[in-house]
């Protein structure tokens, strides 16, 4: 067996974090025999600025123990590609991937989860946008601490509000805080389409869409007319929340939008006084859901007063306490979500122009 074959065999026994596959099976590794030894090049398809150096070190340590007599060098990089969307819809200008963050039910912490995941992806090096699709109850302007009015350079399109490193758009930027949106379904869906299509998104790797609760007009419009790359479901362990989460999941299945995974929020209550943890909303619900529908549990988040206070204060947990345990959980979920998305087929329509041959 050659040194190259030995190294490849050793690599096949190493599991990449978040992808949960070996570098060869996942297609991210390239092994090259050179005069100076064997060079391994890793090309990850999701943001990895925050853990790339650690990953290289772990692979080098693994190979050093397994094939100590082989000279091996490891290099790694990452780049987010544009992935296929449902029903061959045309992509959105300036956006590679659109991910819906849905719940099926209000009050499960979906908006807070969406903004923290967006911030985690941005901290890992991605260019990220956040669209607040809740026309009737927009909350993202307050959460990102940017209750301002967006500008327009041409009088036809609108510039996203940039805050905390995110490009953000919400109906909340365009109306007064206390103004109720007393609109029927068609008006709300038209407003959402304008917010999405008329915003000048700038080279986004990901656009996270904070969906409103339920499975109504806005959801159907978004799924049928917007090039969604995938969706994640946010739920709590409570039986009622899980029922609605299942409905949201089935809705995405019916419109052929891949469900990337499930996030269980408020999994455990953390006492602010003594740190005692208690499953006040029940436990095991998300596990049974992902087993039933054969999807991935992206992670669990606690019910902690700091998460609410920091989001209400315009500095969500990921930026307010970047070194905290809860922030680490958001990073794990964001990376797992992006890694799973990177395994989906790429959108080749953005790589090759359409070629037409006419008989002369």
What is the per-residue pLDDT across 71-114, written as a single tens digit (0 to 9) for each? Answer: 999 999 999 999 988 667 788 899 999 999 998 777 888 999 99
pLDDT attached to residue 269: 80
- 334-359: pLDDT as tens digits: 999 999 999 998 875 544 444 444 44
How many other C-beta atoms lie within 10 A of the C-beta of residue 87? 12
pLDDT attached to residue 182: 63
pLDDT attached to residue 147: 78
Q: Measuring CA to CA, how many Å separate 191 from each of 26, 185, 276, 304?
A: 40, 10, 45, 34
Whether residue 145 has pLDDT greater than 70 = yes
Strands of the chain, DSSP E: 29-34, 37-44, 72-78, 95-102, 128-132, 161-163, 166-170, 204-210, 230-235, 259-264, 269-270, 277-278, 297-300
Q: Which residue has the higher pLDDT, 176 or 90?
A: 90
- 220-233: pLDDT as tens digits: 778 888 889 999 99
% of the chain exceeding 70 in pLDDT: 92
pLDDT attached to residue 349: 54
How many other C-beta atoms lie within 10 A of the C-beta of residue 137? 14
Q: Residue with structure tokens 């436990």?
A: 283
Q: How confident is the model at residue 15 (pLDDT cuts 50, 70, 90)?
A: very high
Q: Which residue has the higher pLDDT, 219 or 115?
A: 115
Q: Which residue has the higher pLDDT, 309 or 274?
A: 309
Instruction: Give me the residues paired with residue 199 across strands.
Output: 158
pLDDT attached to residue 282: 66
Q: How confident is the model at residue 53 (pLDDT cuts 50, 70, 90)?
A: very high
- The per-residue pLDDT of the chain, averaged, comes to 87
Whether residue 3 has pLDDT greater than 60 = yes
How far is residue 99's CA from residue 117's CA, in Å, rounded to a whole number? 11
Work out the average pLDDT over 119-142.
92
Work out the average pLDDT over 200-216.
89
pLDDT attached to residue 169: 94
pLDDT attached to residue 180: 64
pLDDT attached to residue 183: 65
pLDDT attached to residue 192: 81
Q: Which among 186, 188, 209, 37 has a CA at the least distance from the CA of 113?
A: 209
Work out the average pLDDT over 145-157.
85
How far is residue 101's CA from residue 234's CA, in Å, rounded to a whole number? 7
pLDDT attached to residue 82: 92
How far is residue 183's CA from residue 324's CA, in Å, rounded to a whole number? 41
Whether residue 195 has pLDDT greater than 90 = no
% of the chain exceeding 90 in pLDDT: 52
Q: Sketch out the chain's domains with CATH numbers.
A: 3-78 (3.30.300.130), 86-342 (3.40.50.300)
Which distant-in-sequence residues (6+ apart) come within 8 Å of 64 by Cβ? none
Q: Which among 109, 360, 140, 98 has a CA at the least distance from the CA of 252?
A: 98
Work out the average pLDDT over 238-263.
86
| Token output for 73 | 């060098």
Work out the average pLDDT over 23-35.
90
pLDDT attached to residue 281: 73
Q: Residue with structure tokens 């052929």?
A: 256
């Amino acid at each position: 067996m050659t040194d190259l074959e030995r190294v490849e065999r050793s690599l096949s026994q190493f599991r990449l974090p978040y992808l949960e596959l070996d570098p060869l099976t996942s297609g991210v590794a390239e092994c090259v025999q050179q005069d100076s030894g064997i060079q391994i090049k890793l090309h990850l398809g999701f943001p990895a600025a925050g853990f790339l150096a650690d990953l290289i070190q772990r692979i080098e340590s693994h190979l050093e123990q397994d094939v100590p007599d082989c000279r091996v060098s490891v290099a790694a990089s990452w780049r987010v590609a544009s992935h296929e969307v449902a029903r061959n819809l045309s992509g959105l200008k300036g956006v590679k991937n659109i991910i819906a963050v849905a719940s099926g039910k209000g009050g499960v912490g979906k908006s807070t989860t969406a903004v923290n995941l967006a911030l985690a992806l941005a901290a890992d090096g991605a260019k990220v946008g956040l669209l607040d699709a809740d026309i009737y109850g927009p909350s993202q302007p307050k959460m990102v601490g940017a209750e301002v009015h967006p500008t327009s350079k041409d009088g036809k399109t609108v510039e996203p509000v940039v805050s905390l490193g995110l490009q953000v758009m919400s109906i909340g930027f365009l109306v007064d805080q206390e103004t109720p949106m007393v609109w029927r379904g068609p008006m709300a869906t038209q407003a959402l389409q304008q917010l999405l299509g008329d915003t000048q998104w700038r080279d986004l790797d990901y656009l996270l869409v904070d969906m409103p609760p339920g499975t109504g007009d806005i959801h159907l419009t978004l799924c049928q007319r917007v090039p969604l790359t995938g969706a994640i479901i946010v739920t709590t362990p409570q039986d009622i929340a899980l029922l609605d989460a299942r409905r949201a999941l089935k809705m995405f299945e019916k419109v052929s939008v891949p469900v990337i995974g499930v996030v269980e929020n408020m999994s455990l209550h953390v006492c602010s006084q003594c740190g005692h943890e208690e499953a006040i909303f029940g436990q095991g619900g998300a596990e049974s859901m992902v087993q039933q529908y054969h999807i991935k549990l992206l992670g669990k988040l606690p019910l902690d007063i700091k998460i609410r206070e920091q989001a209400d204060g315009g500095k969500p947990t990921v930026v307010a306490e970047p070194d905290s345990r809860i922030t680490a959980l958001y990073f794990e979920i964001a990376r797992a979500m992006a890694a799973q998305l990177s395994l989906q087929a790429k959108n080749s329509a953005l790589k090759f122009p359409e070629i037409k041959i006419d008989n002369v």
